[in-house]
Structure 1
Amino acid sequence: MTTRSRRETVHFKHPFRIKGIDRLLAPGAYEVITDEEMIEGLSFASFRRVATMIMVPGAAPRTPSMEMISIGSVDLSDAQREDAGAAHE
């Protein structure tokens, strides 16, 4: 099975929460990694998302470390939408 990973940086202007992470995260830039696998048997290349992870600072007392936490892509989109909406309140 062919897999690929995409990396992108997402930015939050306000403190935010994402389902699956039990703490409030600070505003800033966060790296998001999306793993995808190729759908076999098609006449063209097509991939499906199999995992989405976000890199966040470690929780106390491991604050200087980074954690990679699996999240839902819809939960990430919801957090980004709420962050964008907070700017207009």
Structure 2
Amino acid sequence: MSGRTTRSIAHFEAPFVLGGLAGTMPAGDYDIDHDEELIDSTSRLAWRRVATFIHLPARTVKSPTSQLVAIDHAELETALRQDRENAA
């Protein structure tokens, strides 16, 4: 099977918590990678997400080290939604 990685940026107005991350993360912009695999189909191209990763620290933090941590995509979406609702 063929694979691809798509990238996005998750913006948090407030500190947040995600499973798999140690403690509370500060507000900011975080690079997100979505690994996807091609689903065999004769009628159209389709991709299935197989993993989601967050780059630590946030984009604005200057650090000599960085981490790529696997996270649950649904949990990320929930945290982003809650952040938007709390900011409104």
Residue segments in structure 2 that go unaligned for 5+ positions in a row: 58-62
| Distance in structure 1 (CA, Å) of the matches to 2:84 and 2:64 | 28
Which residue identity lines up with residue 49 of structure 1 in the other structure?
A: R
Deviation at 1:43, TM superposition (A): 2.3
Deviation at 1:84, TM superposition (A): 1.1
Percent of residue pairs identical: 35
Q: Say yes or no: does 1:80 pair with 2:83.
A: no
Aligned residues: 84
Q: Shift in Å at residue 64 of structure 1? A: 3.7
Measured in 2, the distance between the counterparts of 1:21 and 1:42 equals 39
C-alpha separation in 1, matches of 2:35 and 2:65: 23
Pair 1:30 & 2:30 matched: yes
Q: What TM-score, normalized by structure 1, do the two folds share?
A: 0.85
- Using the size of structure 2 for normalisation, the TM-score is 0.86
Identify the residue that residue 60 of structure 1 maps to in structure 2.
none
Structure 1 residue ranges, 4+ long, deviating more than 3 angstroms after superposition: none
Q: CA RMSD in A?
A: 1.6
